[in-house]
Amino acid sequence: MNKLARGWLRGVRTVAVGMALAWATSGPNVAGAAPAGNLRLYILDCGTIAPMDPALFNVKPTEIKGDVHFVTPCYLIVHPRGTLIWDVGQVPDRDIPDDGTEVVQQRILKATRRLAPQLAALGYRPKDITYLAMSHYHADHTANANMFAASTWIVQQAEYDAMFSEAPVGIRMPDSYRDLKNARRITLNNEDHDVFGDGTVVIKTAPGHTPGHQMLFLKLKKFGPLLLAGDLYHLPEERTLDRVPTFDFDAAMTRATRKKVAEFVRQSGATVWIQHDPATNAPLKKAPQYYE
C-alpha cells in the first residue's frame, strides 16, 4: 500500500467548519424557499477525489477502466413536507476561498465550491433544512455536518456509536460533526425509515462499509425509482466482480447487504447511482436543474 493510501486509511485531520456567505446564481428550474409541489432531487458539487491505489478496492489496474478517481456529490431532496440534505461534502466551506481556487486536503480531497452558497442559490439556508442524513461517517461525506446541527439528524445507532467512540477509528473527522452529538435526531436500529411518511423518501439500512452505513431510496414521479447507494460500491467493477474494499468495516456484511440490495433493486425496478463513480455522475443534471 502506498504512502498516500496509508494516510487516507489512517483518517483525516480535524478541521473547523463554518458557514460561508451565500452567493446566488441564475438558471432554469430554480426552486424557491418553500417546498416544491412535487418531490425534487438536486445534485450539488462537493468536490473530487484524486486517483487512489486500485488495490484498496481489491481490483487490479487491468480490471478497471481508467484510474481510481472519484466525484463527491451532495444531494438536496425537496418534499412538500420538508427538505433533506444527503451527504455534506469532504472539504469544509470555511476552507474554500471565494474565488473558486481548488483546495486540496489530505492530498486527495479536492473542492472548489462551497455547499452553503449552492443551497442559497436554490433558496435555502442550512437552518431551513428539515432533515440531515449521511450515508456514513467517512470524512468525504461529513465535512459540513455541523452546519446542519439545527436539523433533525437521521442515523443508525451503530453509526452513531462509531462516530463518537473514543477508540481509534480510521477515515473519520470527528470535529466535522461534533455539534451533532446532542442534536435532535431519529436513531435507527439497523432499520429502514420513511422520512416523510409517504414512501417517496426512504432511508435504507445497508451495513458493511461502516457499521451503520445507509442508502437513500426515492420515488420520483417522472424519473422513477432511484437508489443513491452511498458507498455500497465505489466502482462499477466492485459490483460486477464482487470485490469489497480492503477498508470496509465487515466484508461479509457488505456482501450480505449487496445481495439484499440486488433483490430490492430487482423488485423495485430502481435505478442505482454509485455516488462516487464519475461515469455515473457526468451526464446527470446538476443544480439548479433537478429531477422529479
Q: In this predicted model, what pLDDT tens digit does every residue of 111-161 receive, in sequence order? A: 999 999 999 999 999 999 999 999 999 999 999 999 999 999 999 999 999
pLDDT exceeds cutoff 70 at 29:
no
Q: Characterize the bridge pairing of strands 271-273 and 224-228.
A: parallel
Question: In the CATH scheme, what is the code of domain 35-281?
Answer: 3.60.15.10
Does the pLDDT at position 175 exceed 80?
yes
Lowest-confidence region among 26-40, 213-227, 261-275: 26-40
Q: What is the pLDDT of residue 100?
A: 86
Determine the pLDDT at residue 139. Answer: 98
pLDDT of residue 35: 52
22 confidence band (pLDDT: 50, 70, 90): very low
pTM: 0.88
Mean of all residue pLDDT scores within the chain:
90
> pLDDT per residue over 260-288, tens digit each?
999 999 999 999 999 999 999 999 999 99
Place of cell 486509511: 9
pLDDT at residue 33 above 90? no
In the chain, the percentage of residues whose pLDDT exceeds 90 is 85
Strand ranges for 141-255 from DSSP E: 152-156, 185-188, 193-194, 201-205, 214-220, 224-228
User: For the chain, how many residues are written?
Assistant: 292
Q: Let me know: does 178 contact 212? Beta carbons within 8 Å.
A: no
CA pair distance 216, 202, nearest whole angstrom: 6
Instruction: Quick: pLDDT tens for 89-118.
Output: 999 999 999 888 999 999 999 999 999 999
